[in-house]
Chains A and B, each alone.
Chain A
Amino acid sequence: MSSIRCIQLCKTFRQGDEIITGLDNVDIVIDEGEFVCLSGPSGSGKTTLLNAIGGLDTPDSGEIHMDGIRVDQLAKGPLADMRLHNIGFVFQAYNLIPVLTAQENVEFVMQVQGVAAAERAQKARDILKEVGLIGMEDRKPAQLSGGQQQRVAVARAIVSQPKLVLADEPTANLDTVASSKLMNLFSQLNQNYNITFIIATHDKRVMSYAKRLIKMQDGKIISDEMQTPVSGDEG
């Protein structure tokens, strides 16, 4: 059963007097448990597609189905609930809440979900251990390095075991070692928990981890190929 289906997605933006095409009749089906990379130059529509799938942005036309539900037709409240319970986001700029500690940042989504305190604390500690941040639970984002902050963001994205993780240039601000560690982590999570990953990137090393590589240009999908990913140890 397919988990995500986009049909004839179109999205344009106005920049001054100019109309920019973000998505141009995009059709795509992504199955549950896939590890997909969206690649392409800046302005090709990768982030726009991620935002549309994640319900952060509404397409001008077309349909987005997630487990049979028309995501593009949901009102703001149900859309927020959908994101809360089904999608984990990892952004380029980490985007942690600066007044919360690493553990509190990881717990935040679960708090909003209404998970009991003891359960979410345990889950947060476990996931922080898994991303190699044990001992840093009480540090605020400003006390963590860029790589560490991104790992907290990843922990937050996956702690409640969402069906889908959307990552937008997750390694853009990381060095090579930190990037490899993060992508290995993504691969393991994909294999271990069957979480669907859609990663927007133009980093070739990141693309090499994907089982499926979709190339975009000018808001269109220009190629969609399956590939053999590098193993987690090769990073």
Chain B
Amino acid sequence: MKGIGTINLPFRAMLVLSWRNLWRNHRRTMIMLAAISVGVWAMIFMTALMRGMVDDMLRQGIQNLPGHIQIHHPDFRNDPSIVNSIDAPSGDLLNALNDPSTKAWSTRIKVPAIIASERETRGINLLGIEPEAETIISGIGGQIIEGRFLLDRHDKGLVIGAKLAERLETRLGKRVVVISQDPENNIAERGFKVVGIYKAKMPGLEEFNVYAALGTLQTLLKIGNQISEITIVDDDFRDIEVLYQNIKQATPENLEIKAWYELDAYLKYMLNMMDGFVLVWVIIIFLALSFGLVNTLVMAVFERVREIGLIQALGMRPGMIVYQILLESLLLLLIGLGIGNLLAIITVKPLESGLDISIVAEGLAMMGASSMLYPSLTASDMILANTVVIILGILTSILPAWRAAKLDPVQAINST
């Protein structure tokens, strides 16, 4: 007797049969395809919006101080006072910072201080910056709404936030007094002319961060060439590991080097939460889809009971019946995914230049998001959505496929 024990998996035969079976009921297939396509589109589109918003919040959070990587005195994070300053970079570290692989870096002084106008006094975070480098790192130079930004590291002017100006009841061109301490705990104070007022995307920072030139503050605080921190940025805040390792190798052991996600656990948490949210969102949409998918396959099997009995009688193994039904499901999913992905690309790409959401921006600003939303269509999110749909789609198709394979051929052939 021929053939017992052989396993044949004629993919082409299965593919032809599955494809034609798929289009036996055009209307049902089209409805299911529409559901899968819209579902996949919704997964990717909403993820792109959320990803854009969270990326913006992260970017703002990172720009508005930490940078991507920071180097400072090991005690500075616990006690951000002037006594925990460090020397300006030199030697290997300077070489690593100036390497073309480093997008931008800057040194800063960061000390607590008091600012006083003729009418009000406020506690502030006084930042001594290198204006040119800082503009690349934090973008503060582009946020000036009145006056000008600092010109160089010896500029004698002061840049304050619009909210702080309002609190101090001062304005552009007026003088204010800044008071801090030098390393000997002596009062260091001087008058500054407000040369610029900025508007931050996060209102809280506007009231708190005050910018002066680095050289001017070094002189005021009597710290010579010392600084509070070195801030470094890479092209993409998600992909800083190579740069981080390069800089770390060149950093003297008596200094502390930290990535943004170590410096600000909230931002890291937000990123993780977003990744978790994307997965949950994709699965929720899929669950809604899966009812339709299972129903379609159950109906397809129910309508073809006799035919399934026939192909069993002709010698198709139960495993091949499962294979054929799963292939049918896979074809349906792949077409739906293709259309859904295409729709997502067509609808998200034009919005990447920015979507004005100022109507709800006030609430979002509390979370650090701006009034413009820049949807972010990432390959990883698309791969995640597609993978989830394929894997869960195939898993949910196993039940109807298994039921088809379990049919009794005699009963199936005799069914009406």
Binding site for B on A (CB under 8 A): 51, 54, 56-57, 66-67, 69, 74, 76-78, 80-87, 89, 91, 95, 97-100, 104, 108-109, 111-114, 156, 163
* Cβ B3 vs Cβ A57 within 8 A: no
* Cβ A67 vs Cβ B8 within 8 A: no
Query: B273 within 8 Å of A by Cβ?
Result: no
Q: Which of A77, A108, A112 contacts B319 (CB 8 A)?
A: A77
* Cβ A80 vs Cβ B410 within 8 A: no
On chain A, the residues within 8 Å of B319 by CB distance are 77
* Cβ A112 vs Cβ B316 within 8 A: yes
* Cβ B314 vs Cβ A82 within 8 A: no
* Cβ A112 vs Cβ B315 within 8 A: yes
Q: Which of A56, A99, A163 contacts B313 (CB 8 A)?
A: A56
Q: List 29 A-B contacts (CB under 8 A).
A: A54-B313, A56-B409, A56-B410, A56-B413, A57-B410, A67-B1, A77-B318, A77-B319, A78-B5, A80-B315, A80-B317, A81-B315, A82-B4, A84-B3, A85-B2, A85-B3, A85-B315, A89-B314, A97-B307, A97-B311, A99-B17, A99-B20, A108-B311, A111-B10, A111-B12, A111-B13, A112-B315, A156-B314, A163-B1
Binding site for A on B (CB under 8 A): 1-8, 10, 12-13, 16-17, 20-21, 24, 306-307, 310-320, 409-410, 413
Query: Which chain B residue lies CB-closest to A52?
Result: B410
Query: Which chain B residue lies CB-closest to A95?
Result: B310
User: With A and B bound together, what is the CA distance between A91 and B316 in angstroms?
Assistant: 17
Q: Which of B1, B6, B17, B317 contacts A66 (CB 8 A)?
A: B1
* Cβ B1 vs Cβ A80 within 8 A: no
On chain A, the residues within 8 Å of B311 by CB distance are 97, 108
In the complex with contacts A95-B413, A97-B17, A112-B320, A81-B3 CB distance below 8 A: yes
User: With A and B bound together, what is the CA distance between A114 and B3 in angstroms?
Assistant: 11
Decide if the interface of chain B is mainly helix, strand, loop or mixed: helix
On chain A, the residues within 8 Å of B320 by CB distance are 112
Q: How far is the CB of A33 from chain B (nearest CB, A)?
A: 16
User: With A and B bound together, what is the CA distance between A156 and B311 in angstroms?
Assistant: 12
Q: A57-B410, A111-B13 are in contact. List 4 more A-B contacts (CB 8 A).
A: A69-B1, A78-B4, A85-B6, A113-B3
Q: Which of A66, A76, A108 contacts B314 (CB 8 A)?
A: A108
User: With A and B bound together, what is the CA distance between A83 and B310 in angstroms?
Assistant: 12
Q: Which 7 A-B pairs have the closest CB atoms?
A: A84-B315, A85-B3, A99-B20, A111-B13, A85-B2, A83-B315, A80-B317
In the complex with contacts A86-B1, A99-B21, A76-B317 CB distance below 8 A: yes
On chain B, the residues within 8 Å of A51 by CB distance are 410
On chain B, the residues within 8 Å of A78 by CB distance are 4-5
Q: How far is the CB of B380 from chain A (nearest CB, A)?
A: 39
On chain B, the residues within 8 Å of A87 by CB distance are 315
* Cβ A77 vs Cβ B314 within 8 A: no
* Cβ A109 vs Cβ B315 within 8 A: yes
In the complex with contacts A80-B315, A98-B307, A113-B8 CB distance below 8 A: yes
* Cβ A69 vs Cβ B4 within 8 A: yes
Q: How far is the CB of A3 from chain B (nearest CB, A)?
A: 9
* Cβ B409 vs Cβ A81 within 8 A: no
Q: How far is the CB of B51 from chain A (nearest CB, A)?
A: 43
* Cβ B2 vs Cβ A83 within 8 A: no
Query: Which chain B residue lies CB-closest to A50?
Result: B410
Query: Which chain A residue lies CB-closest to B412?
Result: A56
* Cβ A99 vs Cβ B24 within 8 A: yes
In the complex with contacts A89-B313, A95-B310, A99-B20, A112-B318 CB distance below 8 A: no
User: With A and B bound together, what is the CA distance between A165 and B313 in angstroms?
Assistant: 12
